[in-house]
Structure 1
Amino acid sequence: MSVTIKDVAKQANVAPSTVSRVLSDSPRISEKTKRKVRKVMDDMGYHLNFSGRVLVQQSTQTIGIVMKRSSSHSFDNPFFSELLRGISASCHKHDYSINITTGDSEEAIFHDVVKMVQGKRVDGVIVLYSKEEDKVVPYLRERDFPFVMIGKPPADANDITYVDNDNILAAKEVAEFLIRLGHNRIGYIGGDSHFEVTTARLAGFKQAIAEHHIELPEAMFKNIQLDSGDAKKIVSELLEVDNPPTALIVTDDFNALSVMLALQEQNVRIPEEMSILSFNNTIISRLANPPLTTVDTQSYQLGYESADCLVELLGGGEVFKKSVIVPTVIVERDSCIAKKAMSDEK
């Protein structure tokens, strides 16, 4: 026979209402009493009946996760796996489960979100991106449904709670790192141009080269789009530019690996003939040959903070728009050397 709240209350010598308040982590109950009741729960093997909680509280204890693209595509990139690991850790702490969109297109993902919201399958949503002409965020705002974004919201949506890096500053620091190494012919390979993170990092890069009076032709600026990213074509085009780059910034480790493979096919040595610096500090950057110098965006922390913010929103009370900026740091490895050292190698 399963253990009930009344059984726990009798064993702990407290009222059943006290046990219920301990389960909801009510501030009205002292920490001493919470510890005593929780110990009894553990000793008796009590587990919360979430189905019953849904009926009583109209809560699913579930958070919806809206992927950047289809889940299969996103899971190829370790950055998203780390985001989800952080979200899962926070959800576990707060006794929430997660429900991930599984559509293979933007339209399918949108319909997944509609089903989540209208079917009352989740209490709130974390959107793992910020994108122009997106249907998901306007829909959630229109429905006044609790959600948090990872990424800076559009300028006309300044009431949204979000978690992000300072991507402009991060990209500026990356450019200045390469400039200090003597590079002034720097190729830039961004991600999908429809996403806010891509435009922010490009803005930071352009700020840095402008401040150092470096002029680069448009042919040095490229993007790897989600649908048609061809690293081989982009690398070939960069190598054919008059006075080609001596260094490349690639704004994602996943794309940087494709770029490195394309360079190696062209017999371009890294870092002796081309320095490379990327973003996200995923396992890819550590296992690449050579290991990549990269920006640690603390993807686990981005996920963890986003879930914490959403649980806070779901806690009720007066809610104010909140933003959390997770700091970044450049992790130096073996894919970048000074331009002078490159010349000496030749």
Structure 2
Amino acid sequence: MPRHRFTQSDVAAMAGVSQSTVSFVLNDNLPPGVRISDETRSRVLEAIRITGYAANPIAQRLAGGRNQILGVFTYETTFPRGGHDFYGAFLVGIEHAAEKLGVDMLLFTSARVVDGRRRLSRDGWQRLGAADGCLLLGQQEDRGELEHLLDTSYPFVFIGKRESEGRRLPYVGADYVAATRRQVERLADLGHTRIGYAGQQSADQPTLDRLEGYRRAMRTRGLPLRYVDVHDIAAGAEEIAERRLTAMLVAPEIDSDALADALEAHGMSVPNSISLLLLGQPNQLQHRSRRAWSGFVVPREEMGARALVLLSRIVDQESAETRAPEGRMPNPPILDEADFHQMLDCPDLDGETLAVAPTTATTPEGTIRDNA
């Protein structure tokens, strides 16, 4: 876990130069009569690259103390814009926690989003130095960048479960595995045996956890797995009808209203013919749904708030360890493993799209008895 942030002294020692030389290279401003060879400059720049050192002018003015600024970096354009407000709730939670903690928030937005992804590479590393630590948010993170932050001991917390070698990466996540298992159990308890999963099978952590929850619960109940490709909503609805499924778990990247409309176009009413459970809020809310959906919700505001509190505690611990005399315990108390990896429950939604399993399943050809 984060312990020590590299300083100019560390860079100077690695490059075999004085700290003033490092400062001259960083500022690219030599006093009269001072010369730095290309070879020396290259050694300093290589040491900066290896350590990930970022000059922090605010912290320098405070003589090494905290500047009470924490950052937020998003890997996608994630905050409210019109109806696309899934990520906005995280920011609301962060803001409330920041107000209680008495810290300022700095939103890092200078890196352009290219092909849906933003990177910390190049100038991003230097900009992070303006904050004591940073919250990271988004589905399309760069794993190499996260490992680099860990290696350089820069304090950060990811909003969302993320795995790393040696479980070093601190996060506050939503327990998608348990929440998805509960949805299967809700359906099975109501007599459903033909339960499908509609969603992508990509490698991002939330998707992997939802799929794991579905697989575990279905195997526990002795039910076969049924995945449905819904890249094309109309074709997906037709497949669901042809396979006589009576219930679907719908991942948040799917337009759930469009899927329900397509199913009803095939004569399958929701929830009388087919139950639909949402596995969290849709990623992009284009409009207010006319349905009261069943499923579970992601505690986004709480995740944002808890992540900021954890980040603040990590920074406090790092600062205390830096100031504590050798041989004495730092204050505040050292964080334990559970603090660094927090998983929050996802509350169930009752809604109106869940019903007892029908005794028959409706298909385009007519009514066929469910013989699952």
TM-score normalised by the chain length of structure 2: 0.65
* Among candidates 183, 186, 190, match of residue 195 of structure 2: 186
Counterpart of 2:190, as a letter, is L
Cα separation, 2, equivalents of 1:74 and 1:191: 24
Residue type matched to 2:153 in 1?
D
SS in 2 for 1:339: coil
Select the structure of larger CA radius of gyration.
Answer: 2
Distance in 1 between residues matched to 2:125 and 2:274, nearest whole Å: 49
Mark the CA change 1:215 to 1:280 in structure 2 (over 3 Å): closer, same or farther: closer
Asked if 1:325 is matched to 2:327, the reply is: no
> Does the residue aligned with 1:63 lie in a helix, a strand or coil?
strand
Aligned to 2:73: 66
Deviations for 1:212-262, whole angstroms, at most 9, x for unmatched residues? 111134xx244x7xxxx544443344334xx33111111328642343344
1:293 aligns with 2:285: no
Summarize the alignment of residues 197-236 of structure 1 with structure 2, pairs less than 5 Å apart: 197-217=206-226, 220-222=227-229, 229-236=231-238
Aligned position for 1:306: 307
CA distance in 2, matches of 1:172, 1:74: 33
2:62 alignment partner AA: V
Residue in 2 aligned with 1:43? none
- List runs of 5+ in structure 1 lacking aligned partners: 1-50
Q: Which one-letter code corresponds to 2:125 in the other structure?
A: V
In the alignment, structure 1 residue 83 sits paired with structure 2 residue 90: yes
Partner of 2:241: 239
Once the 2 structures are TM-superposed, how far is the Cα of residue 314 of structure 1 from its aligned partner? 1.4
Q: Distance in 1 between matches of 2:287 and 2:351?
A: 8
Q: Report the AA paired with residue 93 of structure 2.
A: G
For 1:288 and 1:93, the matched residues in 2 are separated by: 34
Q: Which moved more, 1:151-160 or 1:271-280?
A: 151-160
Partner of 2:105: 97
Shift of 1:317: 3.0
The sequence identity of aligned pairs, in percent, is 19
**Structure 2 vs 1, CA of residues 325 and 109 (structure 1 numbering), >3 Å: closer, same or farther?**
same
Count of residues in Structure 1 that have an aligned counterpart in Structure 2? 285
CA distance in 1, matches of 2:138, 2:151: 18
Point out where structure 2 has 5 or more consecutive residues left out of the alignment.
Answer: 1-56, 322-333, 368-372
- Measure how far apart 1:107 and its partner are: 8.2
1:248 equivalenced with 2:257 (yes/no): no
Partner of residue 161, structure 2? 152
Using the alignment, how far apart are the partners of 1:271 and 1:206 within structure 2?
Answer: 23
Q: Following the alignment from structure 1 to structure 2, what is the Cα–Cα distance between the partners of residues 238 and 132?
A: 33
Aligned to 2:358: 340
How far apart, in 2, do the equivalents of 1:108 and 1:209 lie?
34
**8 Å Cα contact 2:268-2:274 kept in structure 1:** yes
Give the structure 2 partner of residue 142 of structure 1.
151
Question: What TM-score does the superposition give when structure 1 sets the normalisation length?
Answer: 0.70
Aligned partners of 1:275 and 1:336 also within 8 Å: yes
Opposite residue 304 of structure 1, the aligned amino acid is A
Give the alignment of 1:273-288 within 5 angstroms. 273-280=273-280, 287-288=288-289
Residue equivalent to 1:14 = none
Aligned with 1:78: secondary structure?
Answer: coil
Deviation at 1:137, TM superposition (A): 1.2
Contact 1:75 1:81 in 2 (8 A): no
Change in Cα spacing, 1:314 to 1:193, as seen in structure 2 (3 Å) is same
Letter of the 2:197 partner, please give it.
Y
Q: Within the alignment, does 1:117 sit opposite 2:125 as a pair?
A: yes
List per-residue Cα deviations over 1:31-63 (Å, max 9, x = no partner).
xxxxxxxxxxxxxxxxxxxx9777325655443
Structure 2 SS opposite 1:163: strand
Corresponding letter in the other structure for 1:96: D
Structure showing the higher helix proportion among its residues? 1
SS at match of 1:187: strand
CA gap 1:145/1:162 in 2 versus in 1, 3 angstroms: same
Pairwise CA distance, 1:284: 6.1
Aligned partners of 1:329, 1:158: CA distance in 2, in Å? Answer: 26
